[in-house]
């Protein structure tokens, strides 16, 4: 009888594992091609919109994008491959050639959402972007900041950015399986979702996207490799996904000349 229990458990387990394992088998080798970046469409769309981006593109004004982030916005010693740079390249490719796209990056290393938000008024005076992509949450999660305080800090930041006349996209934490037992990401992910919902702004779900890639076998995010290759590929895909996300949320027509 016990053997039967065991057997059925093993079978159950096997049938659960099988579909995912198959998906994983197909992926290796495709890592350099954009096929590795594949994502279900719901992760690349948003109910919320980016009216100012839409307006700027419609009016033929240059599209000025500011990425406010922390250290996970960059790859040490290869800036050109980080996701903001990749997003810029992809947007230029996809939007009409007449459209000037410029992405600048503001790194606020080791700053919590609250500390970052306190700089926004000055920051927005210095630069006047059409769109701000605010990537935050990691530092707060590492320091286990009170999630309520985190939420009000993000709210404040978003309000400040909107007041300064920009559209806002929130970007949440990286999926980092290696530190999953040490960093509790969930409350911060939840609170960012709440703020995004409350202010009707798009949330780029970097966490779920990266987890999807890891689960599907496109990237092995457990890899202890010290080389920058994996980081470059992941950032390339993130840049593509973010560009697609912005285009979708702003309802921009991709340029047709690509065909």
Partner 1 sequence: MTIADHVTGSTIAGTAKPADAKPVDSKSVDSTPGDSKPAGAKPRATVPAITLPAIGERELRLDLFRGLALWLIFIDHLPPSLLTWFTIRNYGFSDATEIFIFISGYTAAFVYGRAMLESGVVIATARILRRVWQIYVAHVFLFTIFLAEISYVATRFENPLYTEEMGIMDFLKQPDVTIVQALLLRFRPVNMDVLPLYIVLMLALPLILWSMKWRPDVTLGLSVALYAVTWEYDLYLSAYPNGFWAFNPFAWQLLFVFGAWCALGGARRMSRILASPVTMWIAIAYLAAAFYVTLTWYVPQLSQFMPKRVEKWMYPIDKTDLDVLRFTHFLALAALTVRFLPRDWPGLKSRWLRPLILCGQHSLEIFCLGVFLAFAGHFILAEVSGGAAMHALISLSGVLIMWGVAWVISWYKRVADKSGAKTKNAVGNADLAGGG
107: β partners: 69
169: β partners: 133
Interface positions with partner 1 (CB under 8 A): 1, 5-6, 9-10, 13-14, 16-17, 20-21, 24, 42, 47, 70-72, 75-76, 110, 138-139, 142-147, 151, 174, 176-184, 187, 190-191, 194, 197-198, 211, 214-215, 217, 220-228, 230-231, 234
CB of 43 to partner 1, least distance (A): 9
The residue (of 104 and 184) whose beta carbon lies closer to partner 1 is 184
The residue (of 124 and 145) whose beta carbon lies closer to partner 1 is 145
CB of 3 to partner 1, least distance (A): 12
The residue (of 1 and 59) whose beta carbon lies closer to partner 1 is 1
Q: Residue 27: how many CB atoms within 10 A of its CB?
A: 17
Q: What distance separates the 2 farthest-apart alpha carbons in the chain?
A: 74
CB of 228 to partner 1, least distance (A): 5
CB of 2 to partner 1, least distance (A): 8
User: Cα–Cα distance between 174 and 135 in angstroms, integer?
Assistant: 10
The residue (of 73 and 130) whose beta carbon lies closer to partner 1 is 73
DSSP 31: T
User: Cα–Cα distance between 101 and 63 in angstroms, integer?
Assistant: 5
The residue (of 8 and 104) whose beta carbon lies closer to partner 1 is 8
CB of 53 to partner 1, least distance (A): 21
Q: Residue 201: how many CB atoms within 10 A of its CB?
A: 21
Q: Residue 63: how many CB atoms within 10 A of its CB?
A: 23
Q: Which residue is listed with tokens 């810029």?
A: 88
Helix axes 206-216, 2-26, angle to 10 degrees: 110
CB of 146 to partner 1, least distance (A): 5
The residue (of 29 and 97) whose beta carbon lies closer to partner 1 is 29
- 10 Å CB burial of residue 174 (0-12, 13-18, 19+) is buried
User: Cα–Cα distance between 243 and 3 in angstroms, integer?
Assistant: 53
CB of 174 to partner 1, least distance (A): 7
131: β partners: 65, 167
The residue (of 64 and 236) whose beta carbon lies closer to partner 1 is 236
């Amino acid at each position: 009888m016990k053997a039967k229990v065991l057997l059925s458990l093993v079978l159950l387990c096997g049938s659960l594992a099988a579909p995912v394992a198959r998906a994983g088998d197909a992926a290796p080798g495709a890592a350099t091609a954009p096929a590795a970046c594949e994502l279900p469409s719901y992760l690349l769309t948003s109910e919320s919109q980016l009216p100012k981006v839409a307006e700027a593109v419609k009016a033929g004004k240059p599209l000025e994008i500011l990425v406010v982030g922390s250290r996970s916005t960059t790859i040490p010693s290869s800036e050109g491959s980080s996701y903001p740079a990749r997003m810029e390249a992809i947007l230029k490719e996809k939007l009409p050639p007449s459209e000037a796209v410029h992405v600048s990056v503001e790194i606020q290393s080791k700053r919590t959402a609250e500390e970052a938000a306190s700089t926004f008024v000055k920051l927005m005076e210095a630069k006047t972007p059409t769109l701000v992509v605010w990537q935050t949450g990691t530092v707060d999660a590492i320091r286990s900041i009170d999630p309520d305080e985190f939420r009000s800090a993000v709210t404040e930041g978003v309000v400040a950015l909107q007041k300064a006349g920009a559209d806002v996209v929130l970007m949440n934490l990286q999926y980092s399986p290696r530190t999953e037992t040490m960093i509790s990401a969930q409350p911060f992910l939840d609170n960012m979702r709440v703020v995004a919902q409350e202010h009707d702004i798009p949330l780029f779900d970097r966490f779920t996207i990266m987890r999807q890639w890891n689960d599907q076998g496109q990237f092995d995010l457990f890899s202890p490799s010290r080389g920058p290759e994996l980081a470059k590929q992941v950032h390339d895909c993130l840049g593509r996904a973010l560009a697609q996300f912005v285009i979708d949320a702003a309802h921009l027509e991709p340029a047709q000349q690509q065909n």
